[in-house]
Amino acid sequence: MIGSLLYLTASRPDIMFSVCLYARFQSSPKETHLIAVKRIFRYLAYTQLLGLFYLKDSLFNLHAFFDTDYGGCRIDRKSTSDTCQFLGKSLVSWFSKKQNSVALSTTEAEYVAAGSCCAQVFWLKQQLHDFDICIDNVCIKCDNTSAINLSKNPVQHSKTKHIEIRHHFLRDHVEKGDILLKYIDTLNQVADIFTKPLDNERFSALRRELGMQNPS
């Protein structure tokens, strides 16, 4: 059941968070996990015609969102990184993945997620370059000002030595101007749908922001 749902997340980003959450318990599932997975299937049955909608007149600018739930996993207290990338209003890439290490602060969790988002953005830029489409400055939107300040101010690195060195490549690209980290209000943070459970109104609103519509 989980394998089928993971395959479906390639075209249904709205179930990404739930599927990835319960995929962590495949080795030792309980009855509560089975009940929760069946709820995902009932949701899919209710929204069979829902899918990603791409406008032909959408602007062709690359931008991204990222977010994280600090210590969201109650078993090992690891945070989950969630990112999504858009070409204009068209969602082209997204993922939800638990971080490898335990973050000691919200800033650290957001900074690690920013590094993952930056890596995905550069992969997309390289793919577009193969089609002779060059995009210089990519805006990455974040709702954590501390993570943005950390990427711009090398002095603050003395307070964050516990963060893995491989994530500090983000600051180099910010200084070069390849990446622009921009603050965005939490209410406008599209990546929230990949981060945590949401009420129906908030979930439906973010689902529309992803470009998911019913063609009928």
Domain residue extents for the chain:
1-48, 62-191
How far apart CA 95 and CA 85 sit, in angstroms, is 10
User: Among positive and negative, which fits the CA dihedral 121, 122, 123, 129?
Assistant: positive
Q: What are the residues facing 64 on neighbouring strands?
A: 85, 140
Return the residue matching tokens 């003395």.
158
Indicate the CATH number of 62-191 among 3.30.200.20, 3.30.420.10, 3.30.360.10, 3.10.450.240: 3.30.420.10
Alpha helices (H) along the chain? 2-8, 16-23, 31-46, 106-129, 145-152, 169-176, 200-209
Strand order in 62-69's β-sheet? Answer: 90-98, 80-87, 62-69, 138-142, 179-183
Going residue by residue through the chain (216 aa), what tens digit of pLDDT does each one get? 898 999 999 889 999 988 988 888 888 888 998 999 999 999 999 988 888 888 887 777 889 999 888 877 777 788 888 899 998 888 999 988 888 778 777 888 888 888 888 889 889 988 888 888 888 788 888 888 888 887 776 555 555 655 645 556 666 667 677 778 888 888 888 888 888 888 889 998 998 888 888 776
Output the DSSP codes for 5-17. HHHHTTT-GGGHH
